[in-house]
Structure 1
Amino acid sequence: MAHGALAQKLERFLHLKDAPPTLVTRSLRSAELAVTETRDDHPVTRLSESLPAEDAYLVSVKLRDFVDCECWERGRCVIKNDIRAGATYLYDLKRDPRYVIDKPFHSLFFHLPRSVLDDMARQSGAGPIGELAYQPGIGHDDPTIRHLGASLLAALRRPDEANQLFVDHMMLALSAHVVATYGGLRRAEPVRGGLAPWQVKRACERLESDLHGKLSLEQIAAEFDLSVSHFSRAFRVSTGLPPHRWLLRQRVDTAKQLMTVRDLSLAEIAVSAGFANQSHFTRVFSSLVGISPGTWRRERAATALDARDSGAAASPAAGNR
């Protein structure tokens, strides 16, 4: 997860002062997928730059209205239309998409190479997809991409807390959705079979060995000679959770074990259990357990004290019988 090529391209494209925050993952064939947040509240009025032509798409979720947007393709204006916050827009990078920047803007951009989309189609038993279905400057009401974008937006703003498995999972889900929704691919029947018992054991061991979540789904799936999407679905069938959620559960379980050691602070426990910091630990723990780590620790200590007191009180009575 770092500033990738997409960040530099969009910095030039939108005349940004700095490279925007970006999260990067890689497909089975090492093609780079990325998501980045772009924003400028005080832009200088001008036409955007050209992006390098490539066989790839940008999928964008708009986070701010942009009224009367002048959209260009292949060197000419093709439409003037209002851009609405929450809508999804597609751009074919072979067509030199550009627009006139004359108002504040705020967007998420996903970079999806065609090779990744074709791989997703092949994994579903279909051949390469054709052109994605879209019209320049016309938005789609797409709740799935909006939801995925909101999840990744939080990760972009707190990159230290976003483990690689989470980013991989979200980008995989987005790619599959784009292929099915805009590439005309019929959704395949879900994979019903899980991993073999030895594969589950090995996969869980690999995840446990890296509580900080630096391993990618690609690395783990490759150990079983499986595609990333196949491994993710089969792991969920076998464990009931996708890999990144399973890892969060393991972090919380590890933290619970560490919290029985009284001389460790919550900050020390957070880092030892694979969380970025105590704040991250508190948010995840509270979400999964329903109470804060501090409250859980106090309740656990009180329960243990009551049990000791009850045992001590019962001992004399037992001895007088």
Structure 2
Amino acid sequence: MAASTSYGKAFGKRLGARSSGYASRALSKAMLAVTELRYDDPQHVLSTPPVEEDAFVVALHLKFFPRYRYWENDRPARESSLLPGQIIIYDIKRKPIFHLNDSFHSVHYYFPRAALDAVAEEAGVPSVTDLHYNPGVCMDDPVVRDLTFTLLPLFADPQNVPRLFMDSVLVGVAHHVACRYGGMRVRPVTAASGLTRWQQVRAKELISANLDGNLPLAALAAECGMSMRQFLKAFKLSVGATPHQWLLRRRIELAQMLLRDPDLPIPAVASSCGFSDQSHLTRVFTAKVGMTPAVWRRECRK
């Protein structure tokens, strides 16, 4: 099978757009991906069709697209407008194309059939047969919109985004899409009592041992003998934060401890705490503590 042209750099190249994205193996049987596209120079031509595959793309549009002319299987949909903050669904099997008659800015989630099947299998329910949508028509979806807005600042440097966080978001969006548009019906997650003591200790040990955030969510859940859905709900119930939020808290606590040593360079502190560099530490530390690491260090010495 030819490589997909519906996510990542190949996606951007196909449309002549700038792209930035992240691909995840959170689901062992399938790839999940998210791609930000910026198209600034309209060529007024039809887009190149994607490589045909059994996959869907769910796109959130961030800029008004006034005359959206769209085709599936060479059949035109009714002309419409794409509104900021709304989503549109594409079935790649149907050879979707559209007229590149205006600039756009959008974020696209890539879900192959195998990913939706894996989500259903983990939930212990029948597979999703299809996603239901009207071709070329955008829809309100507050869940996809709000989760996407949390990702937007991260596309500037996707290589330094913790896998734990991105895995959680992509699996969450896939689960939501399967339920809302695929009719998947899931049983309530049985995690009312949260994590047991040994599960909580083990989870925190693993996160602390992987402060760069590159521990896969699936591996963390498996260590606790739970599905990803069960683990995320139980962890938040027990700890009061998501695994990613607890990771950031642990990073900051360790950074504060190390910053008390006046002879330890701040870049070394950043490296020891799982940050990619000093500027990464400074951004996160300032957001959480309210001052830069250098200022915090000086305040501690007064």
Q: What TM-score, normalized to structure 1?
A: 0.85
Between 101-110 and 230-239, report the one with greater CA deviation: 230-239
Counterpart check, 1:60 vs 2:68: no
Structure 1 residues 180-224: Cα deviation after superposition (integer angstroms, max 9, x where no partner): 222223464343232332222222111111111121112222334
Residue of structure 2 equivalent to 1:286: 286
CA distance in 1, matches of 2:105, 2:200: 42
CA distance in 1, matches of 2:16, 2:298: 53
CA distance in 2, matches of 1:157, 1:187: 35
Between 92-101 and 186-195, report the one with greater CA deviation: 186-195
Task: For residue 101 of structure 1, give the secondary structure of its aligned residue in structure 2.
Answer: coil
Structure 1 residues 279-307: Cα deviation after superposition (integer angstroms, max 9, x where no partner): 322222233234433333233222xxxxx
Q: Tell me the number of residue pairs that the alignment of Structure 1 and Structure 2 aligns.
A: 298
Residue of structure 2 equivalent to 1:38: 37
Residue of structure 1 equivalent to 2:150: 151
Residue of structure 1 equivalent to 2:195: 195
After TM superposition, give the deviation of residue 64 of structure 1 in Å: 1.4
Measured on the aligned residues, the alpha-carbon RMSD in Å equals 2.2
CA distance in 1, matches of 2:224, 2:103: 48
Aligned letter for 1:244? H
Task: For residue 210 of structure 2, give the secondary structure of its aligned residue in structure 1.
Answer: coil
Aligned letter for 1:202? R
Q: 1:11 to 1:292 in 2, by over 3 A?
A: closer
Contact 1:12–1:49, Cα closer than 8 Å, also in 2: no
Q: How does 1:296-315 map to 2 (within 5 A)?
A: 296-302=296-302
Between 179-188 and 215-224, report the one with greater CA deviation: 179-188
Residue of structure 1 equivalent to 2:7: 6
Task: For residue 268 of structure 2, give the secondary structure of its aligned residue in structure 1.
Answer: helix
Task: For residue 238 of structure 1, give the secondary structure of its aligned residue in structure 2.
Answer: helix
CA distance in 1, matches of 2:125, 2:63: 37
Pair member with larger Rg: 1
Is there any run of 5+ residues in structure 2 with no aligned partner, and where?
none
Aligned letter for 2:199? Q
CA distance in 2, matches of 1:226, 1:187: 16
Residue of structure 2 equivalent to 1:258: 258
CA distance in 2, matches of 1:121, 1:86: 27
Residue of structure 2 equivalent to 1:226: 226
CA distance in 2, matches of 1:9, 1:163: 23
Between 182-191 and 236-245, report the one with greater CA deviation: 182-191
CA distance in 1, matches of 2:134, 2:176: 18
Between 242-251 and 226-235, report the one with greater CA deviation: 226-235
Residue of structure 2 equivalent to 1:316: none
CA distance in 2, matches of 1:292, 1:27: 33
Contact 2:127–2:184, Cα closer than 8 Å, also in 1: no
After TM superposition, give the deviation of residue 52 of structure 1 in Å: 2.1
Between 61-70 and 277-286, report the one with greater CA deviation: 277-286
Q: How does 1:172-251 map to 2 (within 5 A)?
A: 172-186=171-185, 188-190=187-189, 191-251=191-251
Task: For residue 108 of structure 2, give the secondary structure of its aligned residue in structure 1.
Answer: strand
Residue of structure 2 equivalent to 1:50: 49
After TM superposition, give the deviation of residue 69 of structure 1 in Å: 1.1
After TM superposition, give the deviation of residue 28 of structure 1 in Å: 3.0
Contact 1:27–1:116, Cα closer than 8 Å, also in 2: no
CA distance in 2, matches of 1:213, 1:246: 11
Task: For residue 214 of structure 2, give the secondary structure of its aligned residue in structure 1.
Answer: coil
CA distance in 1, matches of 2:160, 2:145: 21
Q: 1:75 to 1:234 in 2, by over 3 A?
A: same
Contact 1:71–1:137, Cα closer than 8 Å, also in 2: yes
Counterpart check, 1:80 vs 2:101: no
Contact 1:70–1:77, Cα closer than 8 Å, also in 2: yes
Contact 1:9–1:51, Cα closer than 8 Å, also in 2: no
CA distance in 2, matches of 1:50, 1:98: 6
After TM superposition, give the deviation of residue 72 of structure 1 in Å: 0.3
After TM superposition, give the deviation of residue 4 of structure 1 in Å: 9.3
Residue of structure 2 equivalent to 1:307: none
Task: For residue 133 of structure 1, give the secondary structure of its aligned residue in structure 2.
Answer: coil
Q: How does 1:78-117 map to 2 (within 5 A)?
A: 78-117=77-116
After TM superposition, give the deviation of residue 249 of structure 1 in Å: 0.9
Is there any run of 5+ residues in structure 1 with no aligned partner, and where?
303-321
CA distance in 2, matches of 1:295, 1:4: 47
Q: 1:211 to 1:5 in 2, by over 3 A?
A: farther
Aligned letter for 1:6? Y
CA distance in 2, matches of 1:242, 1:5: 30
CA distance in 2, matches of 1:251, 1:4: 37
Task: For residue 42 of structure 1, give the secondary structure of its aligned residue in structure 2.
Answer: coil
Contact 1:165–1:217, Cα closer than 8 Å, also in 2: yes
